[in-house]
Chain A
């Protein structure tokens, strides 16, 4: 995949010129329009054009010229093939693994929080950050680690910058990694508590992944297409059957866990996924999840181009001064901290120097997996930004602001939010609370109805604690 089409032909030149023009026009509409609501479809088109051009003209340039990838050089997956951690892996399966591993909560949560400053600052950072920082980082670290037996980031710092720098950076990296993992696991626990439907479907991905791993390794070796089809069908079946499970009390009790139990289960799962050979559980499960993720995002993108909703959030709000109700902090530097995964995230450098370099088949695939994987994640972030911007800004602030600021009743909230210039009526907020409450009721036993502040809390579980 590293090699791309021949660019000397005039057809190719016309094609790329067309993509560039379309991207520039779409982007101009999004960035320069003032006063009128902008159609979200332009943002989708602009982003996709920018990604294609960035990959073809910058990503491949960095890979081939700046780094000098060498397709004749045996990769660690072949030199150390042990059937456990070092396993040559089909590039699409590996793309799936890499994308799933780098895409945590960030691409969804960061842009939603950043939308309080308007859609434009966040969008610009997501696009520019991914193309010039995030994707370059992911690809370059993947390249470095691939050339060093798939060693971890701290170890490479030690080898290249000396043992003192290596020890300082190594301990810092370890601490950061622990914080990130614990935070992410906590978000999973919060999402699955009291949700038998979600829990059942997530549990099902484990046997499905084992089946896929065994199928691809022993039954029909190398038939990635067949394996993908089987996995995809089973995953959808699990998702649909999850409803029956959640509505059948006898079954639902098996998948309705308290937070403590879920935490222990996730810890146990993490252990097993770390111990078992990478081809058996980890790679196929990540690949399987990527189907669902990329499929959903692609459907959303198509949906936006068909429905063409307006971006209701202003391009820039007054909260760029740092007084925002969702999180405090000015555009610089905190916007660039809040939007991590969609633009650039240190976490990715750990994956790019962890599992992926031990599985890559050829250095020529580094651009596709490292640079391309990051662009896909950036696109997820753009979709999250659109999601947060097409809803009524008043409703957005009602959902995301802290109860301390906007009060606990719909009337108080409507009054406070309207005073910020985002006119919203108590009825609109109450209606939305009711809609969400209704969905919550599907899985909350009678007598556990949530108060208005509790549904807000349930939305805010990502942002809680952020100063």
Chain B
């Protein structure tokens, strides 16, 4: 059995580590694109300076939360952990909404149901989940009711698991409020994306021509620049 157990450990670590390394690179691209809107030269991925700065920023961002989480059971990533599932699915909702907008802008709206259906499902699902995470009266689900429950225990001088001291009790309450705030922010980000999507779909329907912003035309010579 020993070998299977270690195989499982290896399997798990390998499975996830390949996501972390590719993800770091992806985060670098994202930072380069985002900062690049203010400093256009930073977008250039062939520059080693940009590469090094972008990569360093990328690992510092997630590495900070990781390292603090490893040395402190209530800090760093442990604060954000409860948001993981909902936030990830909200990202899918945003991505599928974008896909829908682009299908309309390509004037391919007759096929748009292939992304409208899953986008709608995810927007509804994640918005309800996000709101429940914030407002549910069940302290096992809602951040605010969880914070209130721990707040009452603090007032009564009690300790609730997993806290082992009054200081940890306070930190759990603070974490709950951070999570509640971020969950609400994510719900608003999804809502804003949907509103802008509807506006852009409306514009695309009113325009008789395809308006999608594609780069590099069919049959173009390799190495073509920005269109």
Contacts and interface: CB of A to CB of B under 8 A. Distances in A.
Interface string B103-123: 101101001001101100110
Given A84-B45, A160-B213, A328-B140, A340 B33 contact: no
B20 A184 contact: yes
B65 interface: yes
A398 interface: no
Interface in A314-338: 322, 328-329, 332-334, 336-338
Given A79-B216, A103-B19, A172-B94, A185 B62 contact: yes
B98 A144 contact: yes
Contact of A274 (B21, B65, B83): B21
A141 B119 CA distance: 13
A148 B226 CA distance: 9
Interface core residue of A72, A76, A168, A170 (most chain B CB under 10 Å) = A168
B95 to A, nearest CB: 4
Q: Which size bracket describes the interface of B in this complex?
A: 35 or more
B168 interface: no
B30 A177 contact: yes
A207 interface: no
Contacts, number: 434
Interface residues of A, number: 141
B77 A182 contact: yes
Main secondary structure of the interface of A (DSSP, over half): helix
B94 to A, nearest CB: 6
Contacts of B61: 178
A58 to B, nearest CB: 8
Contacts of B58: 270-271, 274
Main secondary structure of the interface of B (DSSP, over half): helix
A52 to B, nearest CB: 19
Interface string A146-180: 01111111111111111111001111111111111
Interface of A: 62, 65-68, 70, 72-74, 76, 78-80, 82, 84-86, 97, 100-105, 108, 132-134, 136-137, 140-141, 144, 147-165, 168-189, 191-192, 195, 197-198, 201-202, 205, 239, 242-243, 246, 259-260, 262-264, 266-267, 269-271, 273-275, 278, 281-282, 285-286, 289-290, 292-293, 296, 322, 328-329, 332-334, 336-338, 340, 344-351, 353-355, 404, 435-436, 438-439, 442-443, 464-467
List the 4 shortest-distance A-B pairs measured between CB atoms, nearest first. A346-B91, A354-B26, A133-B118, A66-B111
21 contacts: A66-B111, A84-B51, A85-B29, A103-B18, A133-B118, A148-B214, A149-B216, A154-B33, A158-B37, A179-B77, A182-B80, A186-B66, A191-B13, A191-B16, A197-B6, A201-B10, A239-B7, A243-B6, A270-B62, A274-B55, A275-B51
Interface of B: 1-3, 5-7, 9-31, 33-34, 37, 45-46, 51-52, 54-56, 58-59, 61-63, 65-67, 69-71, 76-78, 80-96, 98-99, 101-103, 105-106, 108, 111, 114-115, 117-118, 121-122, 124-126, 128-129, 132-133, 138, 140-141, 143, 146, 161, 182, 185-186, 189, 192-193, 196-197, 200, 212-224, 226
